[in-house]
Every structure is written in C-alpha cells, then in structure tokens.
C-alpha cells in the first residue's frame, strides 16, 4: 500500500463494522458488496459522509440468527472507493483493504449497526508497499490440484500469469475454505508465512479428497 494512502487515511480508534461469515479482506485487495439490510444502508450513509470512508469487515464466530453473537479477534478495514445506488434501494459498493485491526470491544449504536473500538498497532506492515513479489510456483501447483479436487473450473493460464505480491490474500478470499481457515490466514501477519500456511491448508484438502476417492473404490 502506498505512502500517499497511508497519509490520507487516519486510523480512528472507533469504526463501524460489518459482520459477514466466510468473508475476509486483506490490505490492498478489493471486496465488492451488495448492501440491502436497512441498518447497513445507514452504516454506509454514515461512512461515505466521513473523510476516510472506512468500514471494518469481521467474521462472526456463530450463525447470525440474532444480535447476540461473538466475533473473531481480527478484522480488516476497507475504504469505500466505489458507490452505486440501485433502483430497488440497494447499495453496490467496493472496499479497498487498508489495514487489519484487533477488535477491543463493540456495541450496537442508536442506528442499529455496530461500532467497534479497535487497535491497529500489530499491523503496521500492512502499509508496506515494498513487499517483494514471487512466482508462487509451489502455491500455484497446489492451487490447481485443489481446484481439480473441488471440481472448480479455473483459468490455469491466468493463475500461471498472476504474480502480484498479494496473490495469496486474493486466493484466500475467493477459495471456499472454512471460516476458521480463512481467519487463521487473516491473523498471520507476515505474507511469507501466509503463503506457507495457505499451501499447507490447500494441500490438506487435496489429500483429504484423494483419500475419499480411494475409499469410494
């Protein structure tokens, strides 16, 4: 993430949060969202009226059947960089990941969405734009096996050509991994460690699928 964005964004101690199961976001990635619930429409209204336009994405630990549920400890804040209102009163927005945060506390405000007190200090490297890119050759090989084991159609040429530094984070976001697996990757600070962890997780799924196939025969 570049220095200009770091200078423009003031990381406030309190931000609105959007709980969403099975969804994580990383710094420098893009997350499109379809907002339709009234309280979250109000949340977006408030966010876009502020200079930073920040929303905190965080996973709840349990099914969101009511307002009494707990959260994982780490989320990621994103800046609203695209906003569109539809004819049926929905908001189509895109967030650009800014920085991860540690959740300190949260409460429902008078507009029915949650405000959270957060701490940013453990994630200062989220603003580091000098992260070295890699060919990710091992990860790409395992990823293709994973997609095949899950019967997921993928453009292998696009995978081979992709060398962005946050390739690991984008794969984590799009793959149908378990919530706790996505969360573990989100909470792994160093991107090189995330790469190794993602490889291990994907490889375990491939191995499990292979064992399942053998047992069927």
- 165: DSSP letter: T
Please determine, for residue 151, whether its predicted confidence score (pLDDT) is greater than 60. Answer: yes
**pLDDT value of position 210:** 72
CA-CA-CA-CA dihedral for 205, 150, 71, 53, to nearest 10: 130
> For residues 199 and 141, what is the distance between their CA atoms, to the nearest angstrom?
9
Q: Is 109 helix (H, G, I), strand (E, B) or coil?
A: coil
Task: Evaluate whether 129 touches 28 at the Cβ level (below 8 Å).
Answer: no
> For residues 54 and 12, what is the distance between their CA atoms, to the nearest angstrom?
9
Residue 30 makes CB contacts below 8 A (sequence gap 6+) with 81, 94, 95, 96, 97
| pLDDT, tens digit (0-9, with 9 covering 90-100), for 181-210 | 999 999 999 888 999 999 999 999 999 877
Domain locations in the chain as residue ranges: 3-122, 137-216
Flag whether the pTM goes above 0.85: yes
Task: Evaluate whether 55 touches 43 at the Cβ level (below 8 Å).
Answer: yes
Task: Evaluate whether 71 touches 19 at the Cβ level (below 8 Å).
Answer: yes
* Higher pLDDT pick, 25 / 130: 25
Helix-helix angle 179-187:191-216, to 10 degrees: 160
Please determine, for residue 6, whether its predicted confidence score (pLDDT) is greater than 70. Answer: no
Strands 74-85 and 54-58: antiparallel
CATH T-level fold of 3-122: 2.30.130
Percent of the chain scored above 70 by pLDDT?
A: 87
Residue 107 makes CB contacts below 8 A (sequence gap 6+) with 114, 115
| pLDDT, tens digit (0-9, with 9 covering 90-100), for 27-63 | 999 999 999 999 999 999 999 999 999 999 999 997 6
Longest dimension (CA), the chain: 60
How many residues are there in the chain?
217
């Amino acid at each position: 993430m570049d220095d200009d964005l770091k200078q423009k964004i003031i990381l406030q101690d309190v931000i609105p949060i959007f709980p969403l199961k099975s969804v994580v976001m990383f710094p420098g990635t893009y997350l499109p969202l379809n907002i339709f619930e009234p309280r979250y429409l109000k949340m977006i209204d408030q966010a876009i009226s502020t200079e930073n336009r920040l929303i905190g994405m965080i996973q709840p630990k349990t099914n969101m059947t009511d307002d009494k549920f707990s959260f994982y400890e780490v989320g990621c804040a994103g800046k609203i960089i695209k906003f569109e209102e539809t004819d049926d009163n929905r908001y189509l927005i895109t967030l650009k990941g800014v920085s991860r945060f540690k959740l300190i506390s949260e409460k429902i405000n008078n507009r029915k969405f949650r405000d959270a007190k957060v701490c940013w200090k453990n994630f200062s490297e989220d603003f580091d734009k000098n992260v070295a890119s890699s060919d990710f050759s091992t990860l790409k090989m395992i990823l293709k096996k994973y997609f095949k084991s899950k019967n997921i159609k993928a453009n292998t040429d696009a995978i081979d050509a992709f060398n962005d530094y946050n390739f690991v984070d984008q794969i984590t976001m799009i793959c149908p991994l378990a919530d706790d697996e996505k969360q573990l990757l989100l909470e792994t600070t160093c991107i090189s460690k995330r790469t190794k962890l993602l490889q291990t997780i994907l490889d375990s799924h491939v191995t499990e699928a292979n064992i399942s196939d053998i047992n069927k025969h």
